Amino acid sequence: MQINRWIAAAAAALLAGAAPACAETILFVGNSFTFGANSPAWKYRADAVTDLNGEGIGGVPALFKRFTEQAGLEYQVSLETAGGRTLNWHWENRRDRLDRAWDHVVLQEYSTLDPQRPGDPAGLVEGVRRLSALFAARNPKVDLRLMATWSRPDLVFQKQSPWRGKPIATMARELRAAYDQAAKVRPGTRVLPVGEGFNCAIARGVADANPYDGIAWDQAPLWSYDQYHASVYGYYLEALIAFAEVTGRDPRTLGRGETAATELGIGGDMAARLQTVAWEATRPGTTCR
């Protein structure tokens, strides 16, 4: 089985080199929040992206790819993901797969930053320092983005954590502050406000603040059954924010008939509402985060 995975990874690497010359390259590095765990996004259009681990994952990178295709853009999309891992783990264990020239790189840290010390940004800062140096050595002009993740209802409403009993938006805002700190490691690094996008969805009534007390029929369940990982709606919003930030395109132009939403069972009205949330969350000076 391990041999087959290495063969698949090698084949994926060869395919990566066969992309159209005009296509921009983008790499997503992260964990289950990137590959879409607990949702149909996990294996979505896996053949459209290059999984450097050869595991047949589509996830948020494949959603991003589908959006760019509909926008008439050419991106060669790759991913390197491992569930429950930190950025430092990727640097220590997978940097041989990452060490090449990329036009864009998106990095996503563990959901609480440090698994042993939730909320501590030190590991995130160190992981960004290590990986940004790796990528910049290959391409000094690499566009580096950090994906700030969402509040976890399980840690806000049920489990012991630094965020227990606080407003649901607090965790995402504190995570964003940590990512802002890490972004200072390399000038020009920008943060993708995914967690704050979840906050915007709640503020605008598109999603419910507490999934444990029920969700109205016209609201999207942003989290999976474990109230930890995202649902397909949450991953859709995550990908929309990445699309808006990396490409500079207005996600609302994808429209009610957007293909990925249709294929994943997201209704047209909700797709349009999530596109509007993504647009608002990425506007400078927005008040909904």
DSSP letter for each residue of 214-231: ---TTSB--B-TTSSSB-
pLDDT (average), residues 29-56: 98
User: Is the pLDDT confidence value at 83 over 60?
Assistant: yes
Query: Is residue 256 in a domain?
Result: yes
Q: How many residues would you count in the chain?
A: 289
Helix runs in 17-148, H state only: 32-35, 59-70, 87-98, 122-138
| Residues contacting residue 155 through CB under 8 Å, at least 6 positions apart | 112, 118, 161, 163, 164, 171, 228
| pLDDT score at 286 | 81
Q: What is d(CA 34, CA 61) in angstroms, rounded to the nearest whole number?
A: 8
Q: Could you give phi then psi for residue 207, rounded to 5 degrees? A: -135, 165
Task: Please check whether residue 30 is in contact with residue 128, taking contact to mean a CB–CB distance below 8 angstroms.
Answer: no
- pTM of whole model > 0.75? yes
End-to-end CA, the chain: 45
Task: Please check whether residue 189 is in contact with residue 183, taking contact to mean a CB–CB distance below 8 angstroms.
Answer: yes
Query: Is residue 270 in a domain?
Result: yes
Q: 3-state class of 146 per DSSP?
A: strand
| pLDDT score at 288 | 82
pLDDT above 90 covers a percentage of the chain that reads: 90
Total number of domains constituting the chain: 1
Query: Is residue 286 in a domain?
Result: no
| pLDDT score at 20 | 52
User: Is the pLDDT confidence value at 1 over 60?
Assistant: no
Q: Select the more confidently predicted residue: 5 or 161.
A: 161
Q: Could you give phi then psi for residue 213, rounded to 5 degrees? A: -105, 15
Amino acid identity, residue 214? G
Indicate the average pLDDT of the chain. Answer: 94
Q: Select the more confidently predicted residue: 21 or 4.
A: 21
User: Range of 151's domain?
Assistant: 2-281
| pLDDT score at 22 | 80
- Interval 196-211: pLDDT, tens: 999 999 999 999 999 9
What residues pair up with 146 in beta bridges, in sequence order?
A: 107, 191
CATH code of the domain containing 267: 3.40.50.1110
User: Is the pLDDT confidence value at 2 over 70?
Assistant: no
- Interval 47-74: pLDDT, tens: 999 999 999 999 999 999 999 999 999 9
Task: Please check whether residue 261 is in contact with residue 273, taking contact to mean a CB–CB distance below 8 angstroms.
Answer: no
Query: Is residue 232 in a domain?
Result: yes
User: Is the pLDDT confidence value at 19 over 70?
Assistant: no
Q: What is d(CA 20, CA 147) in angstroms, rounded to the nearest whole number?
A: 27
| pLDDT score at 51 | 98
Q: What is d(CA 39, CA 7) in angstroms, rounded to the nearest whole number?
A: 27
